[in-house]
Structure 1
């Protein structure tokens, strides 16, 4: 599914929600190092609320999309990175790759008061650049992901109030440790995908 008319943002175009321990630019790329025990989660099964993960956010207006590409060496349980779409602390979506059950998993957490979680193993994505795109259209956000230039996989279709003010951008966190390093190579916005299926 080609993305027409998307354009790259400068890292300074975003605003940090919960700044990370360290950031550094390397050419056009941004290298982020996480703080200890950071996460986004609300209640379900685990019983806790966490809202201290790191996210670099810009406006996500109706009919638009955000796309993020990243590289990371996930080696600790729950290490994760991808895209966060957020209206407030109780309403958000995070989608990307997370280290769970001994392998990288592609998945999403959609939160409306409480969180849910879906995932699928992608061990073949380890050590490769992963791109996640979140498209806001009508009353929904459609999330797609892929490694390198492989075909897009649809990851999630989830509701979002068409009138809600939302922001989105790259995120990462490390619930079990400090010091996860994520190299973000692209942060772009553009029009939402024109249709649900490619």
Structure 2
């Protein structure tokens, strides 16, 4: 079983400041997204959005980061999870997004251009969701679960192990004001050593 080390909220640096942030106690952080915040590059939509709220700390090869959270999913494209960033054109966001009346579990992998993979998890709507990203020498391995359910493999994505990167909780609200996400956990541990 991996040994988990809690990451203090104060250790992270925001890519873009949320509309509001408050620590309800040592374990919980509440953040409210700015309306119009998002992360995407080019593909299918033709635009670049670089306004997500990601609280990042260094993530080395051989480490994993876990983030647990809850949110009142109601706005089109409300989203939260884990953001891994090397630079403006190389990053991954993984977690859940509310779209067209469904809660979707997926990932956006960006290597100059973004892609998106997603599947419905409507039964996770009221759960505490945990997203885990393990950094390997050539990949990120993304898993997620609701409450204490078994882990579900979400994505294995290429990611340059030579490039410095940071990771942590993120949220965005492309279409509305008032999305507030309560983050309950941010930990670092050894990376998962197997896919299966």
Q: What is the CA deviation profile of residues 145-198 of structure 1, one whole-angstrom value per residue up to 9, with x for unaligned ones?
A: 00000000000000111101000000000000121000000000111001111x
Could you tell me how far apart the structure 2 residues matched to 1:48 and 1:4 are?
Answer: 40
Question: What's the secondary structure of 2:134's corresponding residue?
Answer: strand
Residue of structure 2 equivalent to 1:115: 114
Question: What's the secondary structure of 1:36's corresponding residue?
Answer: coil
Residue of structure 1 equivalent to 2:166: 167
Structure 1 residue 74 displacement after superposition: 0.9
Name which of 10, 15, 18 aligns with 2:8: 10
Name which of 19, 22, 31 aligns with 2:20: 22
Unaligned runs of 5+ in 1: none
Could you tell me how far apart the structure 1 residues matched to 2:171 and 2:158 are?
Answer: 23
Could you tell me how far apart the structure 1 residues matched to 2:8 and 2:164 are?
Answer: 22
Unaligned runs of 5+ in 2: none
The answer to whether structure 1 residue 184 and structure 2 residue 183 are counterparts is yes
Any runs of at least 4 consecutive aligned residues in structure 1 with deviations exceeding 3 A, and if so which? Answer: none
Question: What is the alpha-carbon root mean square deviation over aligned residues?
Answer: 0.7
Figure out how many residues of one structure are paired with residues of the other and give that number: 195
Structure 1 residue 36 displacement after superposition: 1.2
Q: What is the CA deviation profile of residues 29-60 of structure 1, one whole-angstrom value per residue up to 9, with x for unaligned ones?
A: 00000111000000111110001010000000
Could you tell me how far apart the structure 2 residues matched to 1:76 and 1:16 are?
Answer: 23
Residue of structure 1 equivalent to 2:31: 32
TM-score, normalized by length of structure 1?
0.97
